[in-house]
Chain A
Amino acid sequence: MERKTKIHAEEGKQELLITREFDLPVALLFKAYVVPEIVEQWMGTKVLKLENRKHGSWRFETSDAQGNVVFQSNGVIHDVVPNQKITRTFEMDNTPFATQLEFLEFEELTSDTSKLTMHIVFRSVADRDQLLQLPFAQGINMAHNRLQEVVAQLN
């Protein structure tokens, strides 16, 4: 399997680089980040607000199948240069995680391919490492819940 998404996390640094090359013209890649209906489709979240301009702000909300809100995030948009970059903050509501600063760079590789570089800056090294571990911990929880379901059915 081809590994398109790369994660780069250097020791002792409170930042993270996520890079990905897309089989899409850069204009389409950029569009996926600024058109609310499209963001909703690939992020699987509801876009309550997305102001793509200097000093704008954004707000996303994710619900489970029953309609309960399970995840909320928000931030401010510092800068938007079409097809080039978005600078914004990211904050998860109701969590102990400090706000992150995100620099998104959109780059044309060929007329049909493009590259996204997400440079995320955290408040501390510990914050970064904790976030890196989050999906791992969630994976364990999910496996655990699944196991409980299976076991419950046996009883």
Chain B
Amino acid sequence: MELRRDVFQAIADPTRRAIITLVALQAMTPSAIAENFTSSRQTISKHIQILTECEILRQEQNGREIYYQLNPKKMKAIADFIEPFRNLWDDRFNKLEAVMKKHQSEQ
């Protein structure tokens, strides 16, 4: 469970979620990623490092440049992890909506 917790914290940060969204579109170099943010290059590097340690991002050497790309396997694991909690509430609220619609039509 420890690894999952790390991954969960990795994606709970808004900057890291933004990085994931960027890299999801295409593989990018660290400087290309940093250009999209007002934070320092160093801060963004730290975020990239955390995402790489969690295996959400994968490094790929292309000539002299390092490109980062998304690890789809890991993203699937994250979605699966948060989903049950969201589903729990979604089911509950769907039921609430159905119950109240019935209640409304009976009045």
Which residues of A pack against B, CB within 8 Å? 3-7, 9-12, 18, 20, 22-24, 28-29, 31-32, 38, 41-44, 116, 129, 132-136, 138-139
Contact = CB atoms under 8 A, between A and B. Distances in A.
Contacts of B99: 32, 38, 41-42
Contacts of A29: 96, 100
B41 interface: no
A7 B100 contact: no
Interface of B: 1, 4-5, 8-10, 12-14, 81-82, 84-90, 92-101, 103-104
Given A42-B92, A129-B8, A132-B8, A7 B82 contact: yes
A5 B104 contact: no
Contacts of B13: 10-11
A81 B93 CA distance: 21
A133 B14 contact: no
Contacts of A38: 99-100, 103
**Which 10 residue pairs are nearest across A and B when measured between Cβ atoms?**
A11-B12, A135-B84, A5-B90, A42-B96, A42-B95, A11-B13, A42-B99, A28-B100, A41-B99, A139-B84
A138 B96 CA distance: 23
Contacts of B1: 133
B85 A11 contact: no
A5 B87 CA distance: 8
Contacts of A22: 93, 96-97, 100
